Structure 1
Amino acid sequence: RRVFVTGHSAGGYLTLMVGLDKSYLQEYGVDADSIAAYLPISGQTVTHFTIRKERSLPEGIPVIDQYAPCNKARKDTPPFVLITGDRNLEMADRYEENALLASVLKNIGNKKVSLYELQGFDHGQVYVPGCCLVANYIRNFIADGR
């Protein structure tokens, strides 16, 4: 169990989807719960704006359907470490979306979720300190003998 999944922006969205909706990895014979941790950086937690655009839905209005990580929240998961930039500098609603997902997960009893807001970093910059958090998480995971 030393596989970690991470990604920034759209990669963060995909990280959330494969971790919360077990069907994506199951298609390849992998149990999503066998992953050590999911560490998305600035991922969308509602339906991705590209999907909303393809459906001609209005911009700025969140949709939570089968393509939304929030809709796939589960109680029993590996750790989820949600990382975003500064809510005042990030893409619109990105921090708030991640806070919503963290709240939903906690409210259904998931005790393996944490949320980090990296002050002073916008969407294009947050991956640099975000990767440092990811590297430290992995280093500590291994040092703890897990």
Structure 2
Amino acid sequence: MSTIAYGSLPEQLADLHLPEDPAAPVLVYFHGGGLESGQRGEDPGLLAALLRAGVGVVAGGYRLYPQARYPQFIEDAAACVAWAFEHVPGRRIYVGGTSAGAYLAMMLRFDPRWLDAHGLASSAVAGWVFDAGQPTTHFNVLRERGIDPGRVIVDEAAPLFHIGPGTAPAPTLVLLAEDDIPGRREQTDLLLATLRTFEADDGVRTVVLDGYQHSGYVSDPAGQARFAELVGELVR
């Protein structure tokens, strides 16, 4: 493992984990924590399980509340992905995350301006992993605006807002826990239905992991193995 700086700020660091296979695919992975907590590499068992499955990982950190403001964390995620494309050449690059990290990945997938700023199209990404992400406007973005974070709003800060006629299909793994956050399953179903509406759902696989609460599998050995197995199936 090596730690790299993908930007000039203290938070703009990522841990690079590569298997011996020089052609192994790489997942740029963003941790959860509601955009206000968590850190890169906080679940080393998950990263080890991905490596055993033959998947390299760029575990990216990003700016967090209360210091951060929308959209700085999305800008950080885009910069981290751009770093991976430039510095880990010759490999297929996948992008994903857990909870808040999945929200970041979804914003990169559906709102092209973030990767466009680095000369990248979302189609350059080989596939996506959305683990229990919020497809509506993130609750902490609402809190920043002085809006009750329990509300469900779809605006420019929501991945759903950006799905439309120009959204192309892409290999995608969508994960949820059996006992996920209230409303997360329903919001995810709306995301999937919207992709179907615009014929962009080809290649999307949804898996519900039984016996877990929200993203509980990322810190559980059996769940980590299953997560890595599913990602391995996506990248093959």
Counterpart amino acid of residue 83 in structure 1: L
Counterpart amino acid of residue 135 in structure 1: G
Deviation at 1:119, TM superposition (A): 1.7
- 2:153 matched to which residue of 1? 63
Kindly indicate whether the alpha-carbon contact (under 8 Å) linking 1:95 and 1:117 is maintained by their aligned counterparts in 2. no
- 2:176 matched to which residue of 1? 84
Structure 1 distance, partners of 2:228, 2:134, is 17
- 1:39 matched to which residue of 2? 129
- 2:65 matched to which residue of 1? none
Deviation at 1:106, TM superposition (A): 0.6
Q: Secondary structure at the match of 2:176?
A: strand
1:135 aligns with 2:232: yes
Worse overlay, 58-67 or 75-84: 75-84
1:17 aligns with 2:114: no
Counterpart amino acid of residue 73 in structure 1: I
Kindly indicate whether the alpha-carbon contact (under 8 Å) linking 1:16 and 1:40 is maintained by their aligned counterparts in 2. yes
1:8-57 superposed Cα distances (whole Å, 9 cap, x missing partner):
01100001000111111111111111111011111110000010111121
Structure 1 distance, partners of 2:152, 2:134, is 10
**Please, which of 133, 136, 139 is the counterpart of residue 49 of structure 1?**
139
Counterpart amino acid of residue 80 in structure 1: T
Q: Secondary structure at the match of 1:51?
A: helix
- Which structure is richer in relative contact order (CA contacts within 8 A, separation 6 or more)? 1
Larger Rg: 2
1:98 aligns with 2:195: no
Structure 1 distance, partners of 2:114, 2:169, is 15
Structure 2 distance, partners of 1:56, 1:81, is 33
Worse overlay, 38-47 or 51-60: 51-60
Structure 1 runs not aligned, ≥5 long? 142-146
Q: Secondary structure at the match of 1:115?
A: strand
| Greater strand share, structure number | 2
**1:11/1:19 CA distance change after superposition, 3 Å:** same
